[in-house]
Structure 1
Amino acid sequence: MKKTFFILFIFCFLVTFISCSNKPKRSRKPVSTIVLIPNQKEYRINNPISVQIKTNLKNGNIEKIELFYENELITTEKSLDFTIELKTIAHLGPNSLKVIATKTDGVNNTRYKTFSVLSDINPKINDFEVIKEYNHSVDFFTEGLLMHNGFLYESTGQNGASAIHKINLNSGSILLKKDLDKKYFGEGITILNDKIYQLTYTSKKGFVYNLSDFALIDSFQINSAQGWGLTNDGEYLIMSDGTNKLTWIDPETYIPKKDLYVASNKMHQNNVNELEYIDGSIFANIWMKNYIIEIDAESGKILSTTDLSDLYGMFSSDFPIDVLNGIALNESTGNLLVTGKWWPVMFEIKLKESE
């Protein structure tokens, strides 16, 4: 009896083993790794980079390995190990690579890698000369500043004190004013096609007004968490959001068109604030810093920096002052107007390259 049970046990075991052995093996995903050569923390915009792809295949056969750079397919290979050179880097800031390895049975796997790109030029260092001083209201927490057809336009921040002002530059008199609802903190402004566009700080909302009377005509959503500076290149709005990114926005649909990342040859420039577009360059304040930068509007490269720390010694105030903020082109002279939050004075300055 025991012998019969033993034989039956062995029979069942063999049947089960053979059955399991005949089951098809699970197709394993291919696993690719992306290695940059040279392997370093950051890269320069015009320096070539080699991308090495190595794919580990547990079973089956590879059908294709696709490599994408900034979501564009740059090569398709069958080899498990290959290297390709990126001769042209797309832009400053974060750049992305993606590899999709696909087996002949359709099983695939996707891997990603990002790398950071800096500028390849050393920014020029500018000096400045004060040409003229103008009165500036100590009540103005300056967020946006510009000249248009001989008049100064200034936007102010703080909940309950946010407004847009049209000002006579020489006398300082306010010719027109538009208050924001106290729930909004006003930010940068720009004028395009006889309209004033205004950002708000954290409400993710912008407003559009008639230039002639400041009547509200539209509003739009801001796709960034915060709105900071605003300017335009004659076609698109250009917005900063407190990071190192500038965003071009369609002024009619409010759809973002492109992003540009700001960097020097040493660092990514965060806290980009108030903006002024001038002949292919964007001049910008940097929040909590006493210098302004000039940005190439095509590449995001920082072309020059100007330290304005000496301005603080040129005035006194009986009231608290805040940071340097506000850049406007004086159309009649070609010089810059600069001021700060709650500053009692606005300076007209002429930039000149340091000797």
Structure 2
Amino acid sequence: MRRLFAALLPLLLLGAAPAPIPVEQPEIVATFPHDATAFTEGLIYLDGRLFESTGLEGQSVVREVRLEDGKVLREAEIDARYFGEGLVDWKNKLISLTWQHGIGFIWDRATFRKIGTFKYRGEGWALTRNDREIVMSDGTPFLRFLDPDTLKEKRRLQVTADGRPVPRLNELEWVKGEILANIWLTDRIARIDPVTGKVKGWIDVSALSAASGRRGRDDVANGIAYDSRKDRLFVTGKNWPVLYQIRLGKAR
């Protein structure tokens, strides 16, 4: 009996192995047209419209899009030297990033006129917000939390899954107290606890990626928008011809 206890003691001290992170399979609720030439970097649903930012030098824009038919209602071009990245709204403004130039742009949401710029260190990938802070990804396992009025960094949070850092955090969306994040070059969306940084679950969008007719290596899922009034979650990808409204299903 003593020998058995001695053999089991290390396991008892370590405790039970942590449960695997659940993986959810989304259900498609509806589909909408999406510009197949849009290298989607940021996506927002706001006041009945989609707002989208796109990337690639010479092709980067910030635009307003009608959900029902994908029609571009307005757009502002970003200077051709810049690779446009993420997008977020704050009050009457839209705020966008560039990839490697360390400069972001502030736009008047009513006129799409550029009204300011701001600077940051490192790369800019994506933006989202809650009611108090703007959250920024930069391609690393860290999320930056910014003051929404000054756009100065206040703090950082490392994102981990099973105790390991999660790199390549890309497009972000704040949904029901969680941060959803596309993981660049994968078909997974992370559900992140904004307090601990731990990944609570994965959303597997590989079936949506395949259904979209994905062509190139870069044409991955990237673009998450949430309609809080009607509790609708939308996802798309770079150069996808379709935008999906999804419902999260059972985890496995």
Alignment partner for residue 326 of structure 1, among 219, 223, 226? 223
Mapped pair 1:188 → 2:86: yes
Q: What is the deviation of 1:216?
A: 1.0
Alignment partner for residue 231 of structure 1, among 128, 140, 147? 128
In structure 2, the residue matched to 1:145 is 43
Give the distance between the partners of 1:205 and 1:132, measured in 2 at CA.
36
- After TM superposition, the runs of 4+ consecutive aligned structure 1 residues lying more than 4 A away are none
Q: Secondary structure at the match of 2:160?
A: coil
Alignment partner for residue 290 of structure 1, among 187, 197, 202? 187
In structure 1, the residue matched to 2:106 is 208
Who wins on radius of gyration, i.e. which is larger? 1
Mapped pair 1:278 → 2:175: yes
Q: What is the deviation of 1:331?
A: 3.3
Give the distance between the partners of 1:245 and 1:161, measured in 2 at CA.
28
In structure 2, the residue matched to 1:164 is 62
Letter in 1 for 2:68: N
Letter in 2 for 1:148: L
TM-score where L is the length of structure 2: 0.88
Larger deviation: 330-339 or 178-187? 330-339
Mapped pair 1:127 → 2:25: yes
Larger deviation: 123-132 or 200-209? 123-132
> Per-residue displacement from partner, 1:148-197 (whole Å, max 9, x unpaired)?
01100110000000001101100211111010000111000000111101
Alignment partner for residue 253 of structure 1, among 115, 126, 150? 150
> Per-residue displacement from partner, 1:264-293 (whole Å, max 9, x unpaired)?
124210000000012221000000000101
> Per-residue displacement from partner, 1:306-344 (whole Å, max 9, x unpaired)?
111111332437x75711111111335323211111111
In structure 1, the residue matched to 2:72 is 174
Q: 1:252 to 1:312 in 2, by over 3 A?
A: closer
Alignment partner for residue 217 of structure 1, among 111, 115, 121? 115
Letter in 2 for 1:210: D
Q: Which runs of 5+ in 1 are unaligned?
A: 1-46, 48-119
Q: Which runs of 5+ in 2 are unaligned?
A: 1-13
> Per-residue displacement from partner, 1:97-119 (whole Å, max 9, x unpaired)?
xxxxxxxxxxxxxxxxxxxxxxx
In structure 2, the residue matched to 1:16 is none
Contact 2:209 2:220 in 1 (8 A): no
Give the distance between the partners of 2:31 and 2:100, measured in 1 at CA.
33
The CA RMSD measured in Å over matched residues stands at: 1.7
TM-score where L is the length of structure 1: 0.63
In structure 2, the residue matched to 1:302 is 199
Q: 1:354 to 1:195 in 2, by over 3 A?
A: same
In structure 1, the residue matched to 2:166 is 269
Letter in 2 for 1:182: A
> Per-residue displacement from partner, 1:202-226 (whole Å, max 9, x unpaired)?
0000111111111111100012x10
